[in-house]
């Protein structure tokens, strides 16, 4: 990263690693077995100063660069904790920037300090049961009624949905206007009319809570509107590059974690009188995996630099998301193969990484959608 040589960043990195080793390593397997991270851990992260690190200091945060937020997720993934990184990324890397970039000062003061302390857990709700990548097809709607909006609809696959106290909800305020009729709302989940389904059980990322959310004649104050009415789709497009940088960070460093596990295993495992790491096929596979990771890492660093300069485009975001997540699936599959039959057992963490990684080419825009966006930059629509 651009700031990777700074002494301050490396000191903070050391603190993050110590925190994860002390607070997460001993309990992560328990969270995975329970299929849920305790809500209290958000307070623990807040007390350690890990939440909203690159938001303005006036809201009780560190006022750091975006590098630091990405570095925290990087270190989580290096240890194989992508479930934690996913929830953290939604809260600190996605919802917080939406509020900081779009919200009124009153809204910032209402939510950012509580998000920084971990008192408030945040989520963002775009996907619906009948509208995934096609955001313009969403059916959740908000109707203005005096100094309130009446919100109706449902959302699914919402990360942090089980614990969320605040949800940025995408809703149609003008159903006849297509994507131009979408607005965003800061929804307080303590208000009447809000409910959640039971936790969605997933193939992987088990302790990352995922839920379906319901809004039934939910009255929210008019000042819960985030930004301007009808500009929701524009805001989503403006904020997606940072979200996809986060996804790429997870992908690159989860793959790096998998490579470390494979290297350790093949160095210890004996076959035909020698370590598996001494077979040419194994060495070539390890070399190829390392090369793929380094290529994606270089591209990620480049685009983080462009993001900091305000020059990162939707095309760039699609390229790094596509390249890194497809690479991650390929590398982790190779690393599991190097474990042989043991890689297919829960005794070895590579099996968890394999399950956890699979969704990376689906959420935050599928690989197919990424390819379409990139193709438009080459040959148009």
Q: From CA 197, how far away is CA 212, in angstroms rounded?
A: 5
Judge whether 243 counts as a catalytic residue: yes
Packing angle of the helix pair 367-379, 314-338 (nearest 10 deg): 140
Residue tagged 């009124």 (tokens):
104
CB atoms within 10 A of CB 130: 11
Q: How many Å apart are CA 246 and CA 248, to the nearest integer?
A: 5
Residue 163: burial class (beta carbons within 10 Å; 0-12, 13-18, 19+): buried
Token pair of 89 as six digits: 């990324």
CB 227 within 8 A of CB 184: yes
CA 88 – CA 65 distance, rounded (Å): 17
Short-list 124, 125, 162, CA closest to 31 = 162
Q: Exactly one of 32, 128, 212, 243 is catalytic; name it.
A: 243
Q: How far lies 43's CA from each of 38, 40, 120, 198, in Å?
A: 10, 5, 9, 23
Residues with a known catalytic role: 243
């Amino acid at each position: 990263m651009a700031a990777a040589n700074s002494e301050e960043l490396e000191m903070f990195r050391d603190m993050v690693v110590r925190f994860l080793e002390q607070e997460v390593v001993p309990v992560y397997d328990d969270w995975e077995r329970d299929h849920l991270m305790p809500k209290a851990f958000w307070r623990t992260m807040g007390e350690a100063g890990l939440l909203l690190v690159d938001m303005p200091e006036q809201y009780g945060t560190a006022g750091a660069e975006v590098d630091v937020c990405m570095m925290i997720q990087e270190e989580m993934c290096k240890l194989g904790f992508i479930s934690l990184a996913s929830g953290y990324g939604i809260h600190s890397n996605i919802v917080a920037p939406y509020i900081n970039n779009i919200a009124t000062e009153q809204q910032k003061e209402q939510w950012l300090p509580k998000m920084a302390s971990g008192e408030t857990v945040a989520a963002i709700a775009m996907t619906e049961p009948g509208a995934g990548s096609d955001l313009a097809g969403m059916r959740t709607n908000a109707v203005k009624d005096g100094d309130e909006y009446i919100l109706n609809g449902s959302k699914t696959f919402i990360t942090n949905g089980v614990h969320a106290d605040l949800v940025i909800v995408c809703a149609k305020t003008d159903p006849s206007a297509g994507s131009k009729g979408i607005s965003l709302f800061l929804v307080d989940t303590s208000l009447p009319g809000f409910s959640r389904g039971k936790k969605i059980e997933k193939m992987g990322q088990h302790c990352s809570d995922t839920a379906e959310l319901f809004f039934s004649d939910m009255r929210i104050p008019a000042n819960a509107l985030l930004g301007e009415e009808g500009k929701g789709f524009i805001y989503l497009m403006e904020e997606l590059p940072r979200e996809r940088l986060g996804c790429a960070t997870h992908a690159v460093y989860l793959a790096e974690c998998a490579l470390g596990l494979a290297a350790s295993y093949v160095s210890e495992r004996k076959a035909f009188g020698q370590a598996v790491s001494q077979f040419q096929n194994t060495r070539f596979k390890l070399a190829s995996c390392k090369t793929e990771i380094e290529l994606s890492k270089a591209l990620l660093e480049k685009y983080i630099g462009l993001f900091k300069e305000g020059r990162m485009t939707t095309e760039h975001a699609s390229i790094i998301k596509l390249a890194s997540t497809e690479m991650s699936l390929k590398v982790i599959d190779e690393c599991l193969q190097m474990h042989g039959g043991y890689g297919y057992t829960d005794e070895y963490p590579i099996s968890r990484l394999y399950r956890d990684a699979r969704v990376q080419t689906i959420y935050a825009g599928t690989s197919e959608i990424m390819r379409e966006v990139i193709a438009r930059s080459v040959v148009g629509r």
